[in-house]
Structure 1
Amino acid sequence: MNPFRSPASTIVLIAGVAGILLVLYAWRLPPFATSFELTDNAYVKGYVTTVSPQLSGYIASVPVKDYQVVKAGDVLVKIDDRIYMQRLAQAKGALDAQRATLSNSFQQELSGKAGIASSEAQRKSANATLTRAQQAWDRIVPLAEKGIATSSDVDTARATLEQARAGVDQAIAAIEVSRETLATTIGSRAGLEASVRSAEAAVQLAQIDLDNTVITAPDDGTLGEIGARLGQYVTAGTQLMAIVPKDVWVIANFKETQLDGMQVGQPVTFSVDALRKAVLKGRVERFSPAAGSEFSVIRPDNATGNFTKVAQRIGVRVSIDPDQPQAASLVPGMSVEVRVNKAAAPQGMP
């Protein structure tokens, strides 16, 4: 009796052959060997920018809505700016006061130079007085020795000479005082100029704070859900909304055993679940520098006794070819299935 004629034997045979074929297909062995690598561990990625204020205050206006398309520079949120306007006015007033003080320093310099000139003139006058007093003394001394001049005249001439000498010393001292005053005025000017620069910086900071009360879109894109509410008190870093620019790409996480022969520039096709499995084209752009497990918060510790080898995933970034109408419908987070032809020659990136 032929054992393969029984139904049970036939079923077992078919199941065995199917199992072998399944294993060959899973391991891409002949006759299922192929140059294409496929993964469904892939997603559309993009930049998601969280919009937050840089200062505190009450929200005065929210002129945008959920999922609205915006352009760079469009106003998203306005914060009550009354306090910041007054701070700017206060900073400008302090700047004007510092500039006035600096201007007064230049006037003091001119006054100091004039004081030096006046002291020089006084010294010349004192020198002239001293010369006359010295001449009078030189004349009266011989007369006193001959007994012609009285002792009163000699005393007067001596006192006049001493007074003239003191006047010269006083004039010289006045010149030194004027010069020191001028040097002090000029020396303190560097501090006054620094105070002016500090006040100017304070004005600029106040102006920046005032400008930051108006929050604008940093780039073209589409808004997510609006978290800001009219009258809400916000602080620096409060998440108000998110904006998603139009630039997107695909991150495909291939097993490390699939990467052999995969190169930058090779053509890629990927189907998008949300677009009824529509197929789009792209290029391998670059490879992750490490396996995904290396970027996890809790990294695996393989130095244990119960280690089990698991094929790691390596991220592959795929750029999307331009001029594909359906590419405009791609948004970050969509699931895709990526297919790379490792036999194809790498091509220039678009």
Structure 2
Amino acid sequence: MKNKIGIIVVLILIAVFAVIAFKWIKHRMEYVITDAVFVETNNLSNISFKRVSGKIIKFYKKEGDKVKKGEILAKIDPKDYVLQLEKIKKEINSLIFKKQALEEKKDRINKQIDKNIQIVKISLKENKKLQDSLLSQIKGIDSRLSQLKKDRERFLNLVNKDLAPRRKLEEIETNIDVLSSQKEALLAKLEQLKLQKQSLNEKVKLTKIKKLQIKEIESEISSLSSKINSLRKSKEDIENLIEYTKLRAPFDGVIAKRFKSVGEIVSSGVPVFAIYPLNDIYIKVLLEETKLKGVKIGNKAIIHIDAYPDEYFEGVVYEISPAAASKFALVPRDITAGEFTKVAQRIPVKIKIIRGKIELLKVGMGGEVEIEKK
């Protein structure tokens, strides 16, 4: 009885082993298995400070941290740029004050010129009216004097011949004297009006000179405006430099490497971080050429990462290199001398991860891949 039980147990074990062996052989026939596996990315970017240099005073992220686009990663001391900004701000404010003072002066002179022009125009108009009135009066007096002088000549002849009384002649001469005095007074007033007109014309000339002064002020204002605009551009540039003292993430990703430490002096363009986008991670497989048969684009792949043995990752083949990895080595093998040892070449295969916690993966991790064969 015991022998029968023993035989049954052996047969069961043989059957179990046969099933396991069958499954193992079947799996080996359906899948290509290799451990030449690495987590890779196409876009590992070195991040550096732009246009600024100085001492790093703070890091906000460390290696392995996830970052969002625009997040601050590190900062250098902005003190020198802040001092430059304050200096330019003071210069701008000083020039703006000068410009405002000149504009006020220009407005004041303009108002004065407008007022003077208005007064001069009214005065010239009034002067002309008075001169015309005086000339009209003088013309009337000249006409009357001419007539009186003719009457005096006529009465003088009559008086000499005793044909008219002398009293009449004296009356005419008195009228001539009165009119002559009136004419002299009017001529004096006319001369005063002419002098007044000359004075008004001088004021017009002074007004023109003040207009030239305004042009000079406008030219100075324009020059100050140009300087202010130039300084404002410099101010904007320095404000940008101050913003550049904050190193920001260019995209969503993961910090792969930090090259500098707090207190180090860095120059513009020197790498501070290496960062890669999380959604750009893929699995790179260096597959032996002897295992390449049946591996096609679109084939399913099961990925095992050494760091996470309990995590399941699944992917698909999306690229198979047309050349062996050895062709891209920095120092390719020289076989022209006839020295040659046959070695199985490895073909780079890229696998896109479609399932699993991709955020756990870090560039450079290793593992094992099983690629379905078709």
TM-score by length of 2: 0.56
**TM superposition shift of 1:237:** 1.7
Q: Contact (CA 8 Å) 2:259, 2:271: kept in 1 or not?
A: no
Please, what is the CA RMSD of the aligned residues?
5.0
Of residues 125, 128, 133, the one that matches 1:127 is 125
Deviations 1:76-127 (A, max 9, x none): 4442332222111112212323433443454245324412321222221232
In structure 2, the CA distance between the partners of 1:43 and 1:155, relative to structure 1 (3 Å rule), is farther
1:45 is aligned to 2:40: yes
Amino acid in structure 1 at the alignment position of 2:124? A
Partner residue of 2:188?
A: 156
Secondary structure of residue in 2 paired with 1:149: helix
- What is the 5 A alignment of 1:88-237? 88-104=85-101, 106-118=103-115, 119-143=117-141, 146=145, 148-149=179-180, 153=185, 156-157=188-189, 159-173=191-205, 176=208, 193-218=225-250, 219=252, 221-222=254-255, 224-230=257-263, 232-237=264-269
- What is the 5 A alignment of 1:314-325? 318-322=351-355, 324-325=356-357
1:69 is aligned to 2:102: no
Q: Contact (CA 8 Å) 1:80, 1:213: kept in 2 or not?
A: yes
Of residues 330, 337, 340, the one that matches 2:361 is 330
Q: Contact (CA 8 Å) 2:299, 2:371: kept in 1 or not?
A: yes
Deviations 1:272-319 (A, max 9, x none): 56667987322455789x9899x9899x9xxxxxxxxxxx99977543
The number of residues matched between the two structures is 294
Deviations 1:201-259 (A, max 9, x none): 333322232233343555452352442342x332212223334453312356899xx89
Gaps of 5+ in 1: 1-33, 301-311, 344-350
Distance in 1 separating the partners of 2:267 and 2:309: 43
Secondary structure of residue in 1 paired with 2:49: coil
Of residues 58, 81, 103, the one that matches 1:84 is 81
Distance in 1 separating the partners of 2:128 and 2:293: 106
Identity %: 17
Amino acid in structure 2 at the alignment position of 1:249? Y
Amino acid in structure 2 at the alignment position of 1:139? Q
TM-score by length of 1: 0.60
Distance in 2 separating the partners of 1:334 and 1:286: 20
Amino acid in structure 2 at the alignment position of 1:51? I
Gaps of 5+ in 2: 1-28, 147-178, 333-344
